[in-house]
Amino acid sequence: MLSRRSFLQLAGLSGAGFVSGVPLLGGCRTQAVDSPLTEALPDDPSKPWWLRQNYAPVGESEAHDLEVVGALPPALAGLYLRNGPNSLGVDTSHWFLGDGMVHGVRLEGGKAPWYRARYIKTEALGATGDALAPPTLTHHQANTSILVHQKRVLCLEEVGLPYQISSDDLSTIGPYDFSQKLKTAMTAHPKLDPLTGELLFFGYGVFEPALTYHRVDAKGVLVQSEKIPLPKAVMMHDFQVTATHVVFMDLPILFDIDLAISGSGFPFRWAPENGARIGVMPRTGTAADVKWIEIEPCFVFHTWNAFHDPKNPAIIHLDAIRYTSIWEKNSSDFNTDGRAHRFSIDTAAGKVGLTQLDDHIAEFPRISPRQQGGVYRYGYCLSTDGVVAADGSLPAFNHVAKYDHQTGKRQLHALAAGQELDEAMFVADPAGKGEDDGWLLAYMFDHADNRSQLLVLDAAEISAPPVARVLLPHRVPHGFHGAFVPAS
Ligand SMILES: [Fe+2]
């Protein structure tokens, strides 16, 4: 494993050199919602796909008293937030390296009082996103996901510390390090236990330690940080937790020092020859307790859930979007097709069974947060009817899918031609009793007017027309993950 010092020497860097005095946000625009704004989509063919069409960045903005089509449920009260890359003035060398921008819509009393698009004011804002930037825990774009924990809103990117923002106006408060206890990066996919209130997550690094597991108690105190050795430094995007165990995925996307030094942008490559393993550890265990089980090489960005088999607790079912291979050309090629799978991890026999749940392309899995770690019935995700992008970008997702693991059936919400979805996240009805009593919230971009809307679907009847659509003043670029901050 490479040390941080030797990496810096190889890269010709001598130490920290934060970008300062970044020119911020000259030319923010404020757009009244009823002003027609049908701008042409940026489509410079000399630029890579993540800087064209609806992946291209937009400026900061805000709008008030948004038009709502349909009826927003009054019980859906709070702030919907979604994070994603949105480069500030610099053509980044990889989609993952764009500056983080949060797009938020406030919902209250059946109305949508405002929309805001705000950069996360990180130390890396406006920098090139070069993979050889000083490897500190605060020099990153914070562009991947959002966690609401202990009433804090944290913007996450897996290479560093979270950045906290205000839910009042999306302004940036600064890095958050759990009272100086968090000394590693933090995954963009932490898990909150709905029963105990614990927050579980990991951090990985291209330097030692390659993997560290963290446990935060219900009071928000980081009480355990456990270093876990790995054979090689890998990219590890997600993990899972059950009521008693955590599940790690050591999959073959390897850190490549030659790629890092070459400045090609993103220093990881698909390396199936490295093999693949799933590791299971008690939630309060140590590195010595991890049981690693070999699996066929594959990659998983995202998971729905994990839970113990009710009839045989030694078996953990892990539901995930599995790719048979990825990035075979290069790390900007997302023209691959993940599909829903169940890994059934027999911890007693040391074997992993694999079941493909269906044939449809799927990504951005979500569940009701109340079901995290336990037996669950419904999994939601995006899907597409086969429209795969030729330029290496993600498929144009034009369906929301709902898997019913009790009946084995799948329900779809289909969009009209020219409409493209981003992640659909489940928000529970505070008064609801059923697992799917709630709504699915997603930004939808429409080529008809080059603007976006916030769709609100009834999660119990996703095939029905949207309960409500909140019309936004301009487009929201395709991005990553969201969160909902309930009204307090
Ligand atoms: Fe993710």
Cα–ligand 1 centroid distance for 303 (angstroms): 9
- What is the pLDDT at residue 336? 75
Cα–ligand 1 centroid distance for 386 (angstroms): 22
Query: Which residue carries 């569940």 as its tokens?
Result: 367
- What is the pLDDT at residue 7? 37
Which tokens belong to 308? 């113990």
Task: Cis check for the bond before 297: say yes or no (omega within 30 of 0).
Answer: no
Which one, of 143, 122, 140, 130, lies nearest residue 57 by Cα? 143
Decide if 456 contacts 468 (C-beta within 8 A): yes
Cα–ligand 1 centroid distance for 124 (angstroms): 20
pLDDT of the chain, 488 residues: tens digit per residue: 443 333 333 333 322 222 222 222 323 233 334 444 567 899 999 999 999 999 999 999 999 999 999 999 999 999 999 999 999 988 888 899 999 999 999 999 999 999 999 999 999 999 865 555 556 899 999 999 999 999 999 999 999 999 999 999 999 999 999 999 999 999 999 999 999 999 999 999 988 899 999 999 999 999 999 999 999 999 999 999 999 999 999 999 999 888 888 776 788 999 999 999 999 999 999 999 999 999 999 999 999 999 999 999 999 999 999 999 998 888 888 877 899 999 999 999 999 999 999 999 999 999 999 999 999 999 999 999 866 677 888 889 999 999 999 999 999 999 999 999 999 999 999 999 999 999 999 999 999 999 999 999 999 999 999 999 999 999 999 999 999 999 97
Collect all residues with Cβ–Cβ distance below 8 Å to 93 and sequence separation of at least 6. Answer: 128, 129, 130, 131, 263, 264, 265, 266
pTM exceeds 0.85: yes
Cα–ligand 1 centroid distance for 57 (angstroms): 19
How many whole angstroms separate alpha carbon 209 and alpha carbon 203? Answer: 9
Cα–ligand 1 centroid distance for 311 (angstroms): 31
What DSSP string runs through 415-473? PPTTEEE---EEEE-TT--STT-EEEEEEEEETTTTEEEEEEEEGGGTTSPPSEEEEPS
Cα–ligand 1 centroid distance for 332 (angstroms): 15
Count other C-beta atoms under 10 Å from residue 229's C-beta. 11
Cα–ligand 1 centroid distance for 474 (angstroms): 24
Decide if 305 contacts 373 (C-beta within 8 A): yes
Cα–ligand 1 centroid distance for 189 (angstroms): 7
**Element (DSSP H or E) covering residue 262:** helix 257-262
Cα–ligand 1 centroid distance for 174 (angstroms): 22
Cα–ligand 1 centroid distance for 191 (angstroms): 13
Which tokens belong to 319? 């539901």
Cα–ligand 1 centroid distance for 258 (angstroms): 25
Cα–ligand 1 centroid distance for 436 (angstroms): 23
Decide if 274 contacts 254 (C-beta within 8 A): yes
**Element (DSSP H or E) covering residue 486:** strand 482-486
Cα–ligand 1 centroid distance for 236 (angstroms): 10
Cα–ligand 1 centroid distance for 153 (angstroms): 17
- What is the pLDDT at residue 386? 67
Decide if 343 contacts 317 (C-beta within 8 A): yes
Cα–ligand 1 centroid distance for 201 (angstroms): 13
Decide if 59 contacts 69 (C-beta within 8 A): no
Cα–ligand 1 centroid distance for 9 (angstroms): 31
Decide if 154 contacts 163 (C-beta within 8 A): yes
Cα–ligand 1 centroid distance for 424 (angstroms): 13
| 242 phi, psi to nearest 5 deg | -110, -170
- What is the pLDDT at residue 91? 84
Cα–ligand 1 centroid distance for 158 (angstroms): 9
Cα–ligand 1 centroid distance for 282 (angstroms): 24
Cα–ligand 1 centroid distance for 237 (angstroms): 6
Cα–ligand 1 centroid distance for 17 (angstroms): 28
What is Dmax (Cα atoms) for the chain? 63
Q: Pairing between strand 61-64 and 29-30?
A: parallel
- What is the pLDDT at residue 38? 61
- What is the pLDDT at residue 128? 67
